[in-house]
Every structure is written in structure tokens, then in C-alpha cells.
Amino acid sequence: MLQVSVIDRDHYLNFVETEPYRNFLQYPSWADLKAEWKWASELLGWFTGDGQMVGGALVLYRKVPGLNKYLAYIPRGPMIDWFSNRKLSEWFEPLLSHLKQRHVFTVKMDPPLVRKKWSSQTIMQAIQEFQSHGLKNRKLTDIRPDQIFNDVEYVQQELAELGWRKNEGQDSFDTVQPQFVFRLNMRGKSLEQVYSGFYPAWQNKIHQAEQEGIHVYLGTEEDLPQFHHLLRITAEREKSQVRGLSYFERMFETLIMENPYRVRLYLARLGERILSASLAVRVNGHTWDLYNARHGESLADPASVYLRWKMIQDAYQQGDRLFDFRGISTVLDENNPLFELLHFKLGFGGEACELVGEWDYPVIPMLYWAFDMYMKKR
């Protein structure tokens, strides 16, 4: 039987750097950042009887006001061998036993497993067919996927049998982490081949940006106020919320302390005017386009497309072969503002991925039910 125990930072980092499911949300620096916003944390390891570490997880804890009870959250984790000969119960029973000792009333996780994929070509062809037949209110899930991973389907079945409950949101952004993401897989490709996979219109926008003299450069902490100003402009236009400047200042500080290449700020400038900006986060092999903002109305303006191309080039040159555009909506209605986000990302020729989504384990069912009702009313 596997054992779960708390491990030190160095031990955890040595493990996570070799873990195929590594992502920035499972690094200690992310816990450092969340500590500023009342999240406690632990670094856990799964060990065999002979002391070999075979799994790991960053667990965040949030205390319930007035009670000695905690919500435990494992973002994009845990990092275990989901397809080993071991049953999932062998992984989760020692984990839940440990969390119960920490007075946890419910556990939330969103495993890093992709269950379905759709290529850009498949999506665009389906959209054209929907339009030609006058079909309305179509969603990404109405399209036949290019790939379905049956081993992941079996994992979902096992989780349900163990008592985990899937949080079925109406759309991708109804959960803490988006269930649907868009990724550009560059494995086995040259940069020229990556570029040739972009839509011709996106290639033209890149040429246009170069001809207009738009310059993309790496910013520093001193540029964060300008970046945040552009974020607020974007949020006001989209009627969305934006975190305060202090959050991004703290993000830079904590992530760079762990690794100087963990976070980068990209700015697209024409003269003295910043037109587009993006905050990229990376771990070895994988770069995420985490936060982005723009001055113009259109998401797919030349500056924004050109900025992403520069980010993709940098990621490739650093050895990363997965460029992650993060969340997308499943909406395919061109009149819906959420479709613009998907359309912009489709232009780079990657693939839409559906992950297994968010799962809850109610350690104390009545308290979990009360908490769930409270969150749904917020």
C-alpha cells in the first residue's frame, strides 16, 4: 500500500521536474503566491514500501470561517501515474486519510488528463457545415472529436465508483480551471512548419504588424503598471473582473524567485503606445499564455497576433513544445462574444482539448452540501 506524507521543497522540486504532468499550478511558487490570499499549503508525496517517491501533489487549504474545517484543492493535479497497474483507490485512500487528519471537509481537484481533442480544421469545417444547414446554438461538444482517450474515460468511471463527484458546469469557465483549453503542439515540427499551420489571414496580420513597425519586447516588473492598466481597459470593455496590481507584482516576485524563466511579460508597442500585452508562465516543455490584454476592440488585431507569434517562437527556442492558449468556451455561435476567443486561437492551427474537469470528494457530506449551495448562490 502506498503511503502519503509531507515532503520538503527540494525533494518535491526534484520530483516535479521529471513528472510528465508537471504544470505551473503544481509548483511550490504557486503556493507561495496563494499564501498572500489566505491559502495554506502542503507538498505531498506518495511513497512505496521501500521509500521510492512515485507521486506528488501541491494541496491548497482554505479555512471555513468560524469552523476548524478546511477545503482542500489540488489544482491541475495530483501528479500520479493514472494508468499504472495500481487501482486508483491505492492512490486516493492514503491521500484522503491524510486530508482527514487535516480537518478537511471536502477535496477538489481537476486532474491534468485530456479526454478528447478536436483539430482546428475539424472545428472550422464543422462550423461551416452548421452554417450551411442553418443549425443554431451548436457547441464544440456537438462535433465528433478527432481523438477520444478511452483510458481516460475509464479513469472517470473509477473516480465515480470511489465516491468522487464531477462538477458539471454549463460551460468551460464555470469551474476553477477551464475544462476546455486550446493548445499548439509543436513536437516533431520546425518553426517554419508551425508557422505554415497558421491561418493565411493570421499570417497576413503578422506581416502587417511587421510592416507597420510594431515591436514586441520583454518587459520587467517596472512595466507591470502599464500591463495592468491595459488589463483594466480590456476588463471594462468585456464587463469582466480583473485582479489588483499587487497580485501581478507578487506573481512576478514569487515565480521568478523559484526560476528566473518561470514568468515573462510580453508587450507589443507602436511608437510609445502599448497595443497588446501578455503574461506567459512556463515550466520545462510547456508555456501558457496566462493573462492577456489589448488596447483595440478586436481580439485578432495585428498586434495581438504578432505578439503571440513572438511568444510561440520564444517558447520553441527554450525547448517547449506545447504552447497553451488556456481556456476556451464551447460556444460556436459567431454572435456570442465568447466565440471570438475560440476563433482567435483557432487561427494558430492547434487543437481544442477537453480535460476530465473538476471533481469533488465530500469528506463530510452535509458540510459539503451546505458549502456547495453557498457557492452556487454567489
pLDDT in tens, 208-255: 999 999 999 999 999 999 999 999 999 898 888 899 999 999 999 999
Whole-prediction pTM: 0.95
Count other Cβ atoms within 10 Å, centred on residue 234.
20
Is residue 29 over pLDDT 80? yes
Please tell me the distance from the alpha carbon of residue 45 to that of residue 64, in angstroms, as a whole number.
Answer: 25
Average pLDDT score over residue span 45-63 = 97
Best CATH choice for the domain 3-110+358-377 from the list 3.40.50.620, 3.40.50.300, 3.10.105.10, 3.40.630.30:
3.40.630.30
Triad 108, 288, 182: Cα angle to 5°: 80
User: What's the pLDDT tens digit per position in 250-272?
Assistant: 999 999 999 999 999 999 999 99
Average pLDDT score over residue span 301-325 = 97
Contact status, residue 292 vs residue 345, Cβ threshold 8 Å: no
β-pair partners for 359: 109, 166
Domain ranges in the chain are 3-110+358-377, 114-149+160-355
pLDDT computed for residue 377 by the predictor:
60
* DSSP code string of 133-174: TT--S-BGGGSPPSEE-HHHHHHHHHHHHTT-EE---SSGGG
pLDDT computed for residue 238 by the predictor:
82
Please tell me the distance from the alpha carbon of residue 221 to that of residue 77, in angstroms, as a whole number.
Answer: 29
CATH match of 114-149+160-355 with 3.40.630.30: yes
Is residue 84 over pLDDT 70? yes
Find the helix or strand (DSSP H, E) in which 91 lies: helix 88-101
Average pLDDT score over residue span 25-42 = 96
Phi-psi region of 131 (alpha: psi -120 to 50; beta: other; left: phi over 0): alpha
Please tell me the distance from the alpha carbon of residue 324 to that of residue 110, in angstroms, as a whole number.
Answer: 17
Average pLDDT, the chain: 95
Percent of the chain predicted with pLDDT > 70: 99
Q: How confident is the model at residue 284 (pLDDT cuts 50, 70, 90)?
A: very high
Please tell me the distance from the alpha carbon of residue 199 to that of residue 349, in angstroms, as a whole number.
Answer: 7
Do you find a cis peptide bond into 78, omega within 30 degrees of 0?
yes
pLDDT computed for residue 297 by the predictor:
81
Q: How confident is the model at residue 368 (pLDDT cuts 50, 70, 90)?
A: confident
Contact residues for 98 (Cβ-Cβ < 8 A; gap 6+): 4, 5, 44
